Structures are given as C-alpha cells and as structure tokens.
A and B are shown apart, each in its own frame.
Chain A
Amino acid sequence: MAGATTMNPGSAGSRGLTRFEAKAATRESPLVKWTILGVSLSFFAIFLLMPLIAVFVEALRKGWETYLTALTDPDALSAVKLTLLAAVIAVPLNLVFGVSAAWAIAKFEFRGKHFLITLIDLPFSVSPVIAGLIYVLVFGAQGWLGPWLAEHDLKVIFAVPGIVLATVFVTFPFVARELIPLMEAQGREEEEAAVVLGAHGFQVFWHVTLPNIKWGLLYGVILTNARAMGEFGAVSVVSGHIRGHTNTLPLHVEILYNEYQFAAAFAVASLLALLALVTLVIKSWVEHRAAQAYKVTEDAS
C-alpha cells in the first residue's frame, strides 16, 4: 500500500523506452505486442473505466431533475458538509503531524526511530473497521472514557468528533510516508549549511527545508484529502448513521442504496467520483511539477 502512495518522479525515463520500441532489432513481434496491449486495455476498460461510466450513467438515468433533487436533498447537503468538515480538520492536523514526524525521522537519529516508523504505518495495516472499533471501545458508552464523557455531557461516538477522529486516524500516514523518503534522499547538508550561516531552527525549516519538500508535501495533502473524503469503514463504525447529523457522503450513498433509491445513490456517488477525478488531475499536475524539480535536483548533484 505504501508503494502505491509514494510519488515516483524518477519515472521520467520514458524517452529511453520509446527509443527501444522504435528500433526494429529490439522490437517485439506484433502478435506479442498486441496480445499484451489487448489484455491490459480490456482489463483497464472492464475494471476501471466501466464502473466510472456506470456511476454517471446510473446517476443520470432518470434525468437531470432527479439528479439535482438527490444532491440538494437536506440530508445529502448535510452529508457534504460533514464530509468537508472532517477533511478540513483531518488534513491540516495530518499536515502538521506528518511534516514534524518526517522531519524528526529523516533528519535526526534517536532511540525508538524504527518503532515510530512502524507506528506511523499502523493505520495502513489495520483494517479500518478495527480502527473504528478502537474508538468505540475507548470513547463509547461502555468504553474506558465513556462514563467520564457522559458525566461531562460530551459525545464522541455517534457524533461529529468521532467521525473526525476516525478520519484523522486512517489518513495519519499519508503525509509522513510521502515526505520521509524525500527528506532522507535530500540529506541534511543544506540544513547544516543554513545553521552554520547563522539561521535559527525555524528559519532553517522555513527557508531551506520547506521549499525543498513543497511538491512532495502537496502530493501528500492531496492523498490525505482524497482518503479523508472517501473513507467508509472506520467512519461507518463510529457514525451511528444518524441522517442529517452523522452521515458522510460515502455513508449516505450506502443508506440510499439500501433503501433502493438507486438513482439518488448514484447521484451522490457521482459527486465522490468527480472528486476523485479532480484529485487525479491535480495529482498528475503535482507529479509533473515534482518531476521537474527532481530533474533540477538530479542535475545539481
């Protein structure tokens, strides 16, 4: 999973591949070429493209009016709001946490470093349902802190704070995982140079470290955001599915679907699909910029 979330700016080596293909001596026979292309393209069409098209076709099957009604339904709007709220809280939190963790891990040596790295990966390896369950066990009515919370009239589980907590948990590793290899590759010489030149800790971070990692950081934020808005499992456990109160977009889709309101379910799902498409576009653009920055760095070393 970690591999799938790591940007790989070094993949700009496609020029060499083109040359390989252009030469008759190194070219594969047409049969092999078209078989491989055919297999991968049909796989792509059946498993990736078709579902995406299906979402939009199903959403618009009963016309624009039904589509718009489904989206402007108060429950749907409240789900949109809650989804945005969870993302707006989770993304900055994980941004701050991810940068500090990556900074500590990549630039310093300390005891327990490997333990910390493992801990950061935990949300990747734990099933989201378990993640939600953990919060129920800790904050739920029968949980460790349940009685204390009830006494002080604080609601975490089956309320908005629980949803935010679950979202923060599942998106925990994205920024840190993105930055650690990048910062490790950059080493600490530039930071050392800055300190020798008289810069204070924050100045070093702001003027030297941050500009060097900005594309990786943006990439991590995009992934965090996508996951925060799309998370289902963990949020489902802690939400309680109270319509208009604790339903996020993915949960709302499920409820509509279970109530046989297919057109409405697909309409809301199309929102999430659109979000994914926008994310992909921004992601490609960031990757492109990062690859350029990477190339400059390569030349510099």
Chain B
Amino acid sequence: MSIQVRNIHKQFGSFTALDDISLDFPTGELVALLGPSGCGKTTLLRIIAGLEQADSGQVLLEGEDASGTHVRERQVGFVFQHYALFRHMTVFDNVAFGMRMKPRSQRPSEKQIRDKVHELLNLVQLDWLADRFPSQLSGGQRQRIALARALAVEPRVLLLDEPFGALDAKVRKELRRWLRKLHDELHITSIFVTHDQEEALEVADRVVLMDHGHVEQIGTPEEVYRHPATPFVYGFLGSVNFFHGRVEGETVRVGEDVLPHEPHDLDHGAEVVAFARPHELEIVTDPAATEGLAAKISRVLSFGVTARVELDGVNGSTGRHFEVELTRERAETLQLSEGQLVRLVPSRLRVFDKKGTAA
C-alpha cells in the first residue's frame, strides 16, 4: 500500500516538530527516515500510524484520506523502540494477540491462530521460544518477536520506530541484514526511523533526511551519500571536513590560505562553507607549496586498510581539526611524522553559501 503525507504540520507548545512535510512512500519500498534526535522523524511515523494527531495536513493511505480512520482500522504494523511486548504474556500469546482481539465474526479459529503464530515464529526463526516470557529473551529476540506480532494482523504497512536503537552494535548489524532480507521476501511497504546513518544507508531503498522538522533531502542511499544537497546532509552522513571562507575568483580563501575550487556561480566575496570528505583531501609535504590549507599533523593512525591522519589547523584556522584518509602505501611514501607542517589540497570541494544553498 502506498502512503502519502500532505503538508503535515505538528506543534508541541512552542516547538515545531514538523513543518509542512509532504512525502510519498511508494508501494513495496523500504524507506528510512533519518535525522538527529528531535528532528521530528518519530513524530511523523506516529502520525502516519495514527498514534499522534497532526495539527494540519493529511495522511493518505492507498490514496484515501486516513485522518478519520482510527488506529486500529488503519491496518498498520508498528514496531516500538523498546519492543512494548506484553510482559505478562508468553511469546505465543504476544504474537496471537492481534488475531484474538478481532471481532468474533472475523476471528480465526484457535487452530488457525496456532498455525499462523508458528508460521510467523518460524519466519523470525524463534519458534523454539514460543512458551517463554519476554523477560527471558535477549533484546534482539524481543525485537524479532515484536516484528512477528506486528505482522500477525497482516498489516498493509510496516512502521518501525528506531527498531534496533536499544541493541548492541553486533546484534544491530545482524538484525539490519535480517530485516532487509525479510523485506525482500514480504515486499510490504515499510518505513523505519533511525538516527544511525550507517543503518539507513545499508538497509533502505530510499532515505529521507530530516532536520528540525524539515525534509533536507530524499534519495537512494548512494545519491544522498555522494551528492548531499545541503550542508546538514553533508555533515550528517559520514565524516567530513569543513572550511569557513570567502569566494575569491576560482578559489576559496580560508584565513590566509586559498583552496582551489571548480567553476561555480557564486558571487565574488560571498561567505561560504566548503566541505570535503577525508578521502578527498590530498596531503602536500613540499614546504614550497603555496596552494592549500596549512596544517600540522597531530596523529597518524595506520592500523587499518587505510591510514588516517589527524591534523590541527594553523594560520587562521587554529583550533580546527581535520581528518584525511589515504592508502597505507601513500602514507608510507609521504613519510608523515607527527608535528610536521603540511598543506591540505582538496581534490573535490563542495561549496555552499552561508544560507545553505548549493553552488
């Protein structure tokens, strides 16, 4: 089922949680709502589910306005961050709950319920836990049970609120892969909320980036990572170096140094923020070089596949820290040492003017 939200606005007192949000979630896609805490992503998810009421705007389910539809008639599956399993019921009863709550005329027989529960528990690979209570399960198991419970009522949409947020890193990674696989089998329209960029990029078909109640960018994981549309997205996805400076012809002046910059249409003298990923910075050791930003190496970390160099700014960018990523071989040829003065030259520089518009 497709989901559309139209001009959703939500206010909590003087705090604007969602400011005129319009989004389309096509049928069968797995979409991530990504953003820092307090950006409104969970509120949006709860509004779609009907657990929260928007101040204005519409939620369309399959093209129909759902504003007047009660939560229990929306046929959504909702997975909570802290599982919200019924603590006094066994795993079996938890999963069977939705079916048992149906009006008598639509309620399946006890045998049908039993078969369905076992089918779902097999799907989440936890059939052997049917008689346990939630308190006897690990976090990852609980979340999988919560998912089975949500699927039991055959929802048309699956909404997941920070589903892996309360789990430790290793389990989180496992469940991520597992969720993707499950989605490929079921093809149910799903939206999941997360503040973890890695999770969003790895699992989702599409990523919606949100900040302060606004949508910053929508796109496939590759699009949003490779072509961030705003400074916020640049800073939020992956590590990044940024420079405050002013446009001077074909260059950006940062303090006393200049950074080369591809052709652009920014006005001469415009105040800008320039971004470069750690692997997009080149280290120049030649003391005679004049181009690039002067910096002093503070640490060289070369234990991984790539080497990471941490630098402190000098000449006007004092107090700023930069990070460069390069191959181990390259680091060895350069013979970098701590305390050495070098220059940083970006191979690719993305420039935004101060208001955040792309150049």
Interface residues of A (CB under 8 A from B): 189-190, 192-200, 203, 207-208, 211-212, 296-297, 299-301
Ordered by A's residue number, 15 sampled pairs between the chains whose C-beta atoms are within 8 Å are A189-B82, A190-B84, A192-B78, A192-B80, A192-B84, A194-B97, A196-B76, A196-B78, A197-B149, A197-B153, A203-B101, A207-B86, A208-B86, A296-B135, A297-B87
Contact at A197–B82, with CB atoms within 8 Å?
A: no
- Residue interface bits B53-88, CB-to-A below 8 A is 1, else 0: 000000000000000000110001110101011111
Contact at A189–B87, with CB atoms within 8 Å?
A: no
Contact at A198–B87, with CB atoms within 8 Å?
A: no
Chain A residue nearest in CB terms to B51: A192
How many inter-chain contacts with C-beta < 8 Å in the A-B complex?
A: 69
Residue B268 at the chain A interface, CB threshold 8 Å: no
Contact at B101–A189, with CB atoms within 8 Å?
A: no
Q: Which residues of chain B from 74 to 116 have a CB within 8 Å of any chain A CB?
A: 76-78, 80, 82, 84-88, 97-98, 101-102
With A189-B80, A193-B80, A198-B98 already in contact, the answer to whether A211 and B88 are too (CB < 8 A) is yes
Enumerate chain A residues within 8 angstroms of B49, measured Cβ to Cβ.
196
5 A-B pairs closest in CB distance: A197-B98, A189-B84, A300-B135, A193-B84, A199-B101
Of B82, B134, B153, the residue contacting A198 (CB under 8 A) is: B153
Interface centre among B78, B80, B87, B153 (most CB of A within 10 A): B87
Complex alpha-carbon distance, A120 and B203, angstroms: 51
Contact at B102–A198, with CB atoms within 8 Å?
A: yes
Complex alpha-carbon distance, A192 and B152, angstroms: 16
Enumerate chain A residues within 8 angstroms of B153, measured Cβ to Cβ.
197-198
Enumerate chain A residues within 8 angstroms of B72, measured Cβ to Cβ.
195-200
Contact at B101–A296, with CB atoms within 8 Å?
A: no
With A192-B51, A200-B72 already in contact, the answer to whether A300 and B97 are too (CB < 8 A) is no
Residue B225 at the chain A interface, CB threshold 8 Å: no
Contact at B77–A296, with CB atoms within 8 Å?
A: no
Contact at A297–B135, with CB atoms within 8 Å?
A: yes
Complex alpha-carbon distance, A131 and B167, angstroms: 53
Enumerate chain A residues within 8 angstroms of B97, measured Cβ to Cβ.
194, 197, 199, 207
Of A192, A197, A297, A299, the residue contacting B101 (CB under 8 A) is: A197
Residue B232 at the chain A interface, CB threshold 8 Å: no
CB distance from A300 to the nearest CB of B (A): 4
Enumerate chain B residues within 8 angstroms of A193, measured Cβ to Cβ.
78, 80, 84-86, 149
Enumerate chain A residues within 8 angstroms of B76, measured Cβ to Cβ.
196
Enumerate chain B residues within 8 angstroms of A301, measured Cβ to Cβ.
82
Chain A residue nearest in CB terms to B152: A197
Enumerate chain B residues within 8 angstroms of A192, measured Cβ to Cβ.
51, 78, 80, 84
Contact at B84–A299, with CB atoms within 8 Å?
A: no
CB distance from A202 to the nearest CB of B (A): 11
Contact at B101–A212, with CB atoms within 8 Å?
A: no
Complex alpha-carbon distance, A195 and B101, angstroms: 10
Enumerate chain A residues within 8 angstroms of B149, measured Cβ to Cβ.
193, 197
Contact at A196–B101, with CB atoms within 8 Å?
A: no
Chain A residue nearest in CB terms to B77: A196
Chain B residue nearest in CB terms to A296: B135
- Residue interface bits B211-244, CB-to-A below 8 A is 1, else 0: 0000000000000000000000000000000000
Enumerate chain A residues within 8 angstroms of B77, measured Cβ to Cβ.
196
Contact at A212–B87, with CB atoms within 8 Å?
A: yes
Complex alpha-carbon distance, A212 and B88, angstroms: 7
Contact at A198–B101, with CB atoms within 8 Å?
A: yes
Enumerate chain A residues within 8 angstroms of B25, measured Cβ to Cβ.
none
Enumerate chain B residues within 8 angstroms of A203, measured Cβ to Cβ.
101
Contact at B78–A299, with CB atoms within 8 Å?
A: no
Enumerate chain A residues within 8 angstroms of B133, measured Cβ to Cβ.
296
Enumerate chain A residues within 8 angstroms of B85, measured Cβ to Cβ.
190, 193, 300
Complex alpha-carbon distance, A198 and B49, angstroms: 12
Complex alpha-carbon distance, A177 and B295, angstroms: 64
Enumerate chain A residues within 8 angstroms of B51, measured Cβ to Cβ.
192, 195-196
Chain A residue nearest in CB terms to B87: A300
With A196-B51, A197-B153 already in contact, the answer to whether A300 and B86 are too (CB < 8 A) is no
Complex alpha-carbon distance, A139 and B280, angstroms: 86
Chain A residue nearest in CB terms to B98: A197
Chain B residue nearest in CB terms to A191: B84
Complex alpha-carbon distance, A121 and B352, angstroms: 59
Enumerate chain A residues within 8 angstroms of B82, measured Cβ to Cβ.
189, 301
CB distance from B3 to the nearest CB of A (A): 15
Enumerate chain A residues within 8 angstroms of B86, measured Cβ to Cβ.
190, 193-194, 207-208, 211
- Residue interface bits B133-167, CB-to-A below 8 A is 1, else 0: 11100000000000001101100000000000000
Complex alpha-carbon distance, A299 and B152, angstroms: 26
Complex alpha-carbon distance, A165 and B265, angstroms: 82
CB distance from B214 to the nearest CB of A (A): 26
Enumerate chain B residues within 8 angstroms of A207, measured Cβ to Cβ.
86, 97, 101
Complex alpha-carbon distance, A211 and B89, angstroms: 9
